[in-house]
Amino acid sequence: MAKQQKPATRAVRIQTTKTSQKEHSSPVFLTSSFTYDSAEEMAAAFATETPEVNIYSRFANPGVDEFVHKMIALEGAEHGVATGTGMAAIFSTFMTFLSKGDHIISASAVFGSTHTILTRYLPKWGIDYSYFDMNKPEAIEALVKPETRMLYLETPSNPGLDIIDLAFVSAICKKHNILFVVDNCFATPAVQQPIQYGADLVIHSATKFIDGQGRVLGGVIVGKKELVHQLYLFIRNTGPSMSPFNAWVLSKSLETLFIRMDRHAASALSIATKLQGHAKISTVKYPFLESHPQYAIAKKQMSNGGGIVTFELKGGIESGRKFLNALEMISMTNNLGDSRTIASHPASTTHSKLTEAERQSVGITPGLIRVSVGLEDADDILDDLLQALDKS
């Protein structure tokens, strides 16, 4: 029996079956539909309701399948399905498994658009929610109701970099028969595999580190086969499918994911360490800094600390603006997970829809700066941060 290849190898080597052209690199399958050799074959294809048969690229596409198969292998999942964006993946998951009268428990520290879905849209359809503090996991169980169907969280969280013990949360979900869904966007499967710790479904915004160069949008959900099949049917029928071109880009990006995440993390740890104690900064947060409140948990379930560093400017919101305006090399944009280093101010951008009280409750203070550490030389990144700090 052949030895099982390691994830980094499978990220490179999983490919669609070669065409008659014997290409080495997978082609882009830019087609809306697929043909049949007979009426009987066409009828059989429509009778399956599975992605294994190519009918229409909203249903399945060879290039999208290649990307999904890689993500399944990297996360240690049984099955997977891709979407047009990360938010489409999150919304599809909520809509597939939650119905009128159901209840979802979510970490309060979630991405701004996820917060909007939970608080503005789900209640319109009779779906209730409760928030818990990532720093107080012992309070989760008290929130469970008879109608609780799902528990959702990000770890590390965006942007506060809160970490939670996945095995601890999984045990609560199993005890109460609750679906456990984890957004693994910040870590990526190169750093953390939530299924290993009991997650039922894992979600990614592939737009971020999975692409790694800020080019395309995409989302993916992987997990248990029977759950993913339900998701597949929802996505197939409602239409938030992944573009074949984007899937081709993302599948090629996965070939370098492990080496990129190693570089992101090495630079991020170096920069976070050197920023500690700076006169303009009150706190620096990074999962693999010993000062991080959940450092021990991060070390247990992550292979490195990821590529995101946050710090709090003493001067608050005005210092935050001055800092961003003083940057010379680092990009000012709301994306993250790019080969280019990015700085953002969550209070005025990604989490601006939250009230001040809501921002404070999830650790988004007025002077919080989020840095997505890129692939430039770490010294050049640090130099730009330091000169901007001097002017903030």
pLDDT at 222: 98
pLDDT at 351: 64
pLDDT tens per residue, range 292-314: 999 999 999 999 999 999 999 99
pLDDT tens per residue, range 211-238: 999 999 999 999 999 999 999 999 999 9
Residue in the block written with tokens 């840095």 = 371
Sign of the four-CA dihedral 327, 329, 333, 338: negative
| 92 alpha-carbon distance from chain centroid | 15
Helices then strands, counting H and E runs in the chain, come out as 13, 12
| Kind of pairing between the strands at 179-183 and 201-205 | parallel
Q: Are 374 and 341 in contact (CB under 8 A)?
A: yes
Question: Counting beta carbons within 10 angstroms of the beta carbon of residue 37, is it exposed (0 to 12), middle (13 to 18) or buried (19 or more)?
Answer: exposed
Q: Render the burial of 104-129: b for 16+ CB within 10 Å, e for the rest.
A: bbbbbbbbbbbbebbeeebeeeebbb
* Domains of the chain in sequence order: 7-30+61-254 (3.40.640.10), 257-391 (3.90.1150.10)
Per-residue pLDDT of the chain (392 residues; tens, 9 = 90+): 678 899 999 999 999 999 999 999 999 999 999 999 999 999 998 888 888 888 889 999 999 999 999 999 999 999 999 999 999 999 999 999 999 999 999 999 998 899 999 999 999 999 999 999 999 999 999 999 999 999 999 999 988 899 999 999 999 999 999 999 999 999 999 999 999 999 999 999 999 999 999 999 999 999 999 999 999 999 999 999 999 999 999 999 999 999 999 999 999 999 999 999 999 999 999 999 999 999 999 999 999 999 999 999 998 888 888 999 999 999 999 899 999 999 998 877 766 766 778 777 767 888 999 999 999 999 999 999 999 999 98
Q: Are 274 and 382 in contact (CB under 8 A)?
A: yes
pLDDT at 264: 98
| Kind of pairing between the strands at 308-313 and 368-372 | antiparallel
